[in-house]
Structure 1
Amino acid sequence: MSDALTDLQGVISDYFDALHHCHTGLLKKVFHPKAIYATADEAPLLYRTMDEYVPVVAARQSPASRGEERRDAIDEIQLAGDNTAFARVRCSIGDKDFTDFLTFVRDGGRWQIMAKIFQIRPRTEGGA
């Protein structure tokens, strides 16, 4: 199981890099093609497929290009078995802090995010 944790930490690191640099190729690597992206912080509920989400990221100015400090952390990773896992992670983009619940599947021997459900908060002192 420790290999799985190491692999998941690597995927999460790539996820943080993809968000910080708006790197859509890396984003497509870490998310399963059938993954979902959702938050109840917008009304109506925001729900996107990967085909809808990736172009949104591509159109953003990256936090890296704005010189934003990286604020990301892994709070926990839980393994449900050999092919399913969960992680609670935090990151900041612009003036917002995000708590992401990421559900992972191991498909074809590779861990990918199958669902991203997240909470948005205005930036707090110290960030994520």
Structure 2
Amino acid sequence: MAKIVVTGATGFVGRALLPRLLAGGHEVVAVVRAPDTRLPAGVVAAPVGDIAGPVDWAPVLAGAEALIHLAGLAHQRHVTPTALRALNVTATVRLAEAAHAAGLRRLVYVSSVKAQGDHSPPAAP
């Protein structure tokens, strides 16, 4: 089947998604911070460090047909707006540009709840 690259593979959604992709017969590459990250058997680790920093995405995306981007800051407390923007916006844009340059046919982006802000607006009277 297809080679699929997954960011945020060790997060809540990623941990549920990896086994399903494997069961579907896909080659799964998990983007991780460190090479010693525990992953399900059959998943290939692609350690890149912090994706908010400079990352050479070309070797990770080479030969992939799809990218599922789950990585992002969502539930951490005391995160600065600068840190949120660096990971949730800037890193995502860089990754999407790299995916385009690599000729990927599919990009699935799962946004953070932080895209909606930290508070709900007051209810209308």
Give the TM-score, by structure 2 length.
Answer: 0.26
Give the TM-score, by structure 1 length.
Answer: 0.25
Tell me which protein shows more strand as a share of its residues: 1
